[in-house]
Amino acid sequence: MTEVIVMPDRPDWPGWGPTDQPPPSFDEAPGEPVSEERRTIVLDWTVNEYVARGWRLESRSPTQAIMTQGDPVNHVLHAILTIFTCLLWGIVWVVIAATSKQQRVSLTVDRTGHVAVVQSPV
């Protein structure tokens, strides 16, 4: 007999998932400039928080990261399907294009270690 173990969607294990506290290595005085290494640590922590919430990392530098959530619509595939189905697939294509959402966020760490979050249109 095989035992099936079901894993929860979001486990409540310690250290798993997003936290609301700053990284432990960030203990500089507020408003004081921080080193490049500390800025990278803060960005790492922020990126991990976004990844734990379902975002994907699109690009990254030591003090900036671009995060995305959602998938873009494959318009080429839908155009081909619309042609082969004599425009019937066009209805499905319009619904998918109208309801699909893709979000993009830019995370930038300034000299004082604060993270600026900028939502960008897609």
Return the domain boundaries, the chain. 36-120
pLDDT at 113: 85
The rounded Cα 119 to chain-centroid distance in angstroms is 11
pLDDT band at 93 (very low <50, low <70, confident <90, very high): very high
Determine the pLDDT at residue 5: 43
Q: Judging by beta carbons within 10 Å of its beta carbon (0-12, 13-18, 19+), is residue 65 exposed, middle or buried?
A: buried
Band the pLDDT of 34: cuts 50, 70, 90: confident
Instruction: Indicate whether 60 pLDDT > 80.
Output: yes
* Report field, pTM of the whole predicted structure over 0.85: no
Angle 59-16-120 (CA atoms, 0-180°, nearest 5)?
A: 30
Q: What is the C-alpha to C-alpha distance for residues 36 and 33, in angstroms, rounded to an integer?
A: 9
Report which listed range, 4-8, 27-31, 98-102, is most confident: 98-102
